[in-house]
Amino acid sequence: MKETVVVVYEKPEIYDPIFIEGLPGIGLVGKLAAEHLIQELNAKKFAELYSPHFMHQVLIKKDSTVDLMKNEFYYWKSPDEEHRDLIIITGDTQVPPTDSYGHFEVVGKMLDFVEQFGTREIITMGGYQVPELQGEPKVLASFTDLETKERYKQILGDMVVFREDEGGAIVGAAGLLLGIGKLRGMRGACFLGESLGYIVDAKAAKSVLTVVAKVLNLEIDMTALEERAKETEEILRKVQEMQRAMFEQQLPQPSHEEEDRGYL
Amino acid sequence: MKETVVVVYEKPEIYDPIFIEGLPGIGLVGKLAAEHLIQELNAKKFAELYSPHFMHQVLIKKDSTVDLMKNEFYYWKSPDEEHRDLIIITGDTQVPPTDSYGHFEVVGKMLDFVEQFGTREIITMGGYQVPELQGEPKVLASFTDLETKERYKQILGDMVVFREDEGGAIVGAAGLLLGIGKLRGMRGACFLGESLGYIVDAKAAKSVLTVVAKVLNLEIDMTALEERAKETEEILRKVQEMQRAMFEQQLPQPSHEEEDRGYL
Amino acid sequence: MKETVVVVYEKPEIYDPIFIEGLPGIGLVGKLAAEHLIQELNAKKFAELYSPHFMHQVLIKKDSTVDLMKNEFYYWKSPDEEHRDLIIITGDTQVPPTDSYGHFEVVGKMLDFVEQFGTREIITMGGYQVPELQGEPKVLASFTDLETKERYKQILGDMVVFREDEGGAIVGAAGLLLGIGKLRGMRGACFLGESLGYIVDAKAAKSVLTVVAKVLNLEIDMTALEERAKETEEILRKVQEMQRAMFEQQLPQPSHEEEDRGYL
Amino acid sequence: MKETVVVVYEKPEIYDPIFIEGLPGIGLVGKLAAEHLIQELNAKKFAELYSPHFMHQVLIKKDSTVDLMKNEFYYWKSPDEEHRDLIIITGDTQVPPTDSYGHFEVVGKMLDFVEQFGTREIITMGGYQVPELQGEPKVLASFTDLETKERYKQILGDMVVFREDEGGAIVGAAGLLLGIGKLRGMRGACFLGESLGYIVDAKAAKSVLTVVAKVLNLEIDMTALEERAKETEEILRKVQEMQRAMFEQQLPQPSHEEEDRGYL
């Protein structure tokens, strides 16, 4: 495999779809949001993306079968004129951070693929790492251009924070899809939910998906995500208690030794 | 050398061979198993694989000659209808872990080559790192698909553990050959022997090869491997005694300084 | 995006321009100097360079829009026969230091582009890291060849230090543009201002730009740069005071923990 | 520059030359030996090799001019039938150790180039790192094949140590030229002089060059090398004295802090 490849199982008849990205990242926010959307819409998988820039390994499934690491494309045909067709991508992994060239190559191939279906609009989802959190996670929004920003502002109002942190960066597909898409004449928005980063953050995923559902004018039942969100809150509260206890007793922090894994 | 290349010395007349992989990895389990199989079957070397993704060095042999790092293909023609023709690969090295792209490129070239001989089935062998071991090393099995899993289950029964560790990974050729092979319509199985990882583990190699011999319906004399296995047990026991002694006397652990090797 | 690409917005009619480089580096000296020159000359942006060898991220602007990391080409048409046309490049980033191949590829594409406008002469600007500084930062000069050196000597006299540190290195675009340009028959000079390296060094930028202005026979109003230079001096003085205070009181140095940033 | 390139200044009329390599490595042994040979034979430079796999920097010369890092080809026409024509390569650098692919690419281009002149025989020179040294540095020899080994044995007898360290490695051009050359039907030998590694080791260079001179049936005046060898002995003796003194006084070892160089 010399280049990233998309294996196509079906060519859906979709028109001017919005391409929605939710790949693994901080707090797995984007992935959780995308998976929940796919589930609620009953979106259908129609293609898989494999890449020689992904980790050189296969993943094991509960039934003893193995697969290369991959991303998966799902589509949803809108039922009426009030809604847009959708292509949603999620998956096992992004390219590792040491391979910038690989990131550009993979995102380029994603865009090549969705362009075939007339995609001109992109929404990317992910987490934004914060040191602490009060209340519901805010959703930080950024855009390819001012016209798109205004359009989304009309719909979202103050549901999101319009980013002004000049020089801040969005690393990986959530950023590159907009940056490279822009050079190809596409438009888009990126929604990142505030997250402490070290757990599977369903709360942040819910915040982001609520915003995206509003944009898409969809009613999404958040129950399953809410249940995961409650588990997340529980874990968060326990972690905070444990840290407070240790501070008060001035116990030494648990150390993490860097395991030197032998290479298989 | 811009791409991985296979130098072919002979084109054996083999039919629908099973491609068996045993390259260096944890405990050198796969390599030991493959080398022993080659020895016992008197398999014949017919091709060599070189790659610009291998380490940029040559290895010295006892007779003062040098060679690039390589993998070697051997073939065995089955003597009757009850057995399958085999292609076995072993060698000096895999691609280093920092070069994912190289791993995909090399495995792709391996499959290109064995496909020329009609290969549609793959068995990969290696080690699985465990922190401790009681009794004989178990063999962990995984497969490209459920049909293949059933087929092997019929033959092996409970000789192996059918993996259920969802999300676990098999890194390197042992995994990639199945993952990429699958995309090319091939089928296969991976057998990994439990190993502590830091020594040449002939015990684990014997466990894995016993399973593979059963699959191939071959009688393999394990004597040479058993002798190496006894040496391995000896070394293991000495290491454990030494560690127990140090613990009891609370001697400081031996330190290993990171030697800064000058670059040649 | 498989290769570095230049997006061209306008094809200016310029003749035998001097190509001036000021990209991010030590103390941001080159970038500050280039940006100030662009501002004072009111040079016009006419092209952008994007590369899959840049960091795989987009940068956020104050208005919530995002862009890939890029370099920008500006041009200035000289008003008379006494001055040369100019192409100036500055931007967000250079290729990260782990990707030598990327550096060569990007600089090659820069030269391909400016060659189209008849460029045969290059001036590069940057910082030179020193452990301490007294008085004004000196400017260290080096050249593609002796003839060019003489030509610049006539103009600059002892305004610069002609480097004699055999075996010293100039890393990145400031060096490569001359090294690769030389192989293409181009000529050029590199001017590096002494800098302590860890701050935005407008003093060094001013020293370098003063030299370049002399070479180009341009009157450049340094006021804005001088204001930034005064701020720089202030910060420098505060840092030195703080370090002296700590030394006298033998306070423990502030520790910097290596934050392990989660990957998005 | 997308590939390694050889810039040719002259096409010498040489016949069946021996290609001799002496590039930077341990103790700079190979480079010193090659430079001395070039000097004594008055060999003429006829080509330069540049590579995008070399460090992305230029080097400064005493006259203020700069050059990309490069390797240089020299030729020597033998004066009579008793001697062979020679191509000698030396230079600033090899490819950094993190880029195996680059090493293969560069050595491939070197061989492509010297093949044009009918080269079928290769001698590589370098250092072999040892922890301590008594007397003159031994020269360790290895070969592409047994026939070549025998041929050299006839000439050298016990002047060299015929390596038997199975599994030992020769990293970089000194090894790859033989390994890849072998696949192209070339023959060759590698001579490495024992060296402590951390200084410019003219003693080891002299040992290696003495062997190579014998092979080539050349009288090489070693005076200049011997003078450098005496300096090397002096430095060695001082270092050993200093280490003995510290041991006796149990002074703490000097520490070396890893300087974190800012990126230019």
Q: What is the pLDDT along chain C (264 residues), one digit of tens a residue?
A: 899 999 999 999 999 999 999 999 999 999 999 999 999 999 999 999 999 999 999 999 999 999 999 999 999 999 998 899 999 999 999 999 999 999 999 999 999 999 999 999 999 999 999 999 888 999 999 999 999 999 999 999 999 999 999 889 999 999 999 999 999 999 999 999 999 976 788 999 999 999 999 999 999 999 888 887 777 677 666 666 766 666 665 544 444 433 333 333
Chains D and A touch (3+ CB pairs under 8 A): no
Mean pLDDT of chain A: 90
Q: Mean pLDDT over residues A219-237, rounded?
A: 79
| Residues paired with residue D140 on neighbouring β-strands, in sequence order | D161, D192
Q: Which two tokens stand for residue D147?
A: 């026939």
For residue B261, give the 3-state DSSP assignment. coil
Distance of CA C120 to CAs A2, C82, D232, Å? 38, 18, 46
Tell me which residues of chain A, numbers 181 to 200, contact chain C at a CB-CB cutoff of 8 Å. Answer: 182-183, 190, 197-198
Q: What number of CA atoms fall less than 13 Å from residue B147's CA on the CB side?
A: 4
Residue B260 lies in a domain: no
Q: Mean pLDDT over residues D195-221, rounded?
A: 92
Q: Mean pLDDT over residues D183-198, rounded?
A: 94
Q: Under 8 Å CB-to-CB from C103, ≥6 apart: which residues?
A: C53, C94, C95, C172, C173, C176, D52, D56
C197 chain-D contacts, CB cut-off 8 A: 262
Residue D99 lies in a domain: yes
Reported confidence tier of residue D249, pLDDT bands at 50, 70, 90: low
Of the listed ranges A6-15, A233-242, C104-113, D66-75, the least confidently predicted one is A233-242
Q: Under 8 Å CB-to-CB from D213, ≥6 apart: which residues?
A: D37, D219, D220
Size (chain D), residues: 264
ipTM of model: 0.88
Q: What is the pLDDT of residues D70-113, one digit of tens each?
A: 999 999 999 998 899 999 999 999 999 999 999 999 999 999 99
Query: Which run of H or of E encompasses C215?
Result: helix C202-216
Amino acid code (one letter) for A236 = L
Residue D197 pLDDT greater than 90, yes or no: no
Closest approach of A156 to chain B, Cα-based (Å) = 37
Q: Out of C56, C61, C65, whose CB is closest to A104?
A: C56
A127 chain-C contacts, CB cut-off 8 A: 264
CATH number at residue D212: 3.40.50.10900
A264 touches chain B (CB under 8 A): yes
Sign (positive or negative) of CA dihedral A233, A239, A242, A243: negative
Sign (positive or negative) of CA dihedral B82, B85, B89, B90: positive
B67 touches chain D (CB under 8 A): yes
Q: Between chains, do A105 and C2 touch, taking CB under 8 Å as contact?
A: yes
Q: Between chains, do C169 and D59 touch, taking CB under 8 Å as contact?
A: yes
Please indicate, yes or no, whether the overall pTM of this predicted structure exceeds 0.80: yes
Q: What is the pLDDT of residues A97-147, one digit of tens each?
A: 999 999 999 999 999 999 999 999 999 999 999 999 888 999 999 999 999
Chains D and C touch (3+ CB pairs under 8 A): yes
Residue D154 pLDDT greater than 50, yes or no: yes
Q: Which two tokens stand for residue D163?
A: 């390596």
Distance of CA A173 to CAs A97, A117, A197, A220, Å? 11, 20, 17, 24
Q: What is the pLDDT of residues A169-216, one digit of tens each?
A: 999 999 999 999 999 999 999 999 999 976 788 989 999 999 999 999
Q: Which two tokens stand for residue D65?
A: 């001019």
Chains touching chain D at 3 or more Cβ pairs under 8 angstroms?
B, C
B120, B17 contact by CB (below 8 A): no
Residue C134 lies in a domain: yes
Q: What is the pLDDT of residues C72-123, one digit of tens each?
A: 999 999 999 889 999 999 999 999 999 999 999 999 999 999 999 999 999 9
Residue B28 lies in a domain: yes
- Give the C-alpha separation, A205 to A197, whole Å: 12
| Residues paired with residue A264 on neighbouring β-strands, in sequence order | none
Residue A252 pLDDT greater than 60, yes or no: no
The CA-based angle B41-B43-B44, given to 5 degrees, is 160
- Using alpha carbons, select from A108, A78, A106, A105 the residue that is nearest to residue A91: A106
- Give the C-alpha separation, D52 to D58, whole Å: 12
- How many helices (H) and strands (E) would you count in chain C? 6, 12
Of B221 and B230, which is predicted with more confidence? B221
Of D259 and B144, which is predicted with more confidence? B144
C142 touches chain D (CB under 8 A): yes
Give residue C226's pLDDT.
80
A170, A190 contact by CB (below 8 A): yes
Residue A161 lies in a domain: yes
- Give the C-alpha separation, B220 to B227, whole Å: 14
Reported confidence tier of residue B167, pLDDT bands at 50, 70, 90: confident
Of the listed ranges A27-41, D44-58, D148-162, D215-229, the least confidently predicted one is D215-229
Give residue A228's pLDDT.
75
| Residues paired with residue C127 on neighbouring β-strands, in sequence order | C193
Reported confidence tier of residue D245, pLDDT bands at 50, 70, 90: low
A179 chain-C contacts, CB cut-off 8 A: 58, 66-68
Q: Between chains, do B179 and A68 touch, taking CB under 8 Å as contact?
A: yes
User: How many independent structural domains does chain A possess?
Assistant: 1
Q: What number of CA atoms fall less than 13 Å from residue A193's CA on the CB side?
A: 30
Q: What is the pLDDT of residues D22-57, one digit of tens each?
A: 999 999 999 999 999 999 999 999 999 999 999 999
Residue B264 lies in a domain: no
- How many helices (H) and strands (E) would you count in chain D? 6, 12
Q: Between chains, do C261 and A129 touch, taking CB under 8 Å as contact?
A: yes
Q: Out of A1, A64, A102, whose CB is closest to B180?
A: A1
Reported confidence tier of residue D1, pLDDT bands at 50, 70, 90: confident
Range(s) of the domain holding residue B50: 5-252
Cβ count within 10 A of residue B108: 18
Residue B237 pLDDT greater than 80, yes or no: no
- DSSP codes of every residue in A69-121: --EEEEEE--SSTTS--EEEEEES----TT-HHHHHHHHHHHHHHHHTTT--E
- Give the C-alpha separation, D68 to B102, whole Å: 28
- Give the C-alpha separation, B35 to C236, whole Å: 66
Residue D86 lies in a domain: yes
Give residue D252's pLDDT.
46
Give residue B162's pLDDT.
97
Closest approach of C55 to chain A, Cα-based (Å) = 6
Residue C258 lies in a domain: no
Give residue D257's pLDDT.
38
Percent of chain D clearing pLDDT 70 (strictly above): 87
Q: Mean pLDDT over residues A224-248, rounded?
A: 70
- Give the C-alpha separation, A261 to B129, whole Å: 9
Burial class, B225, CB count within 10 angstroms (exposed 0-12 / middle 13-18 / buried 19+):
buried
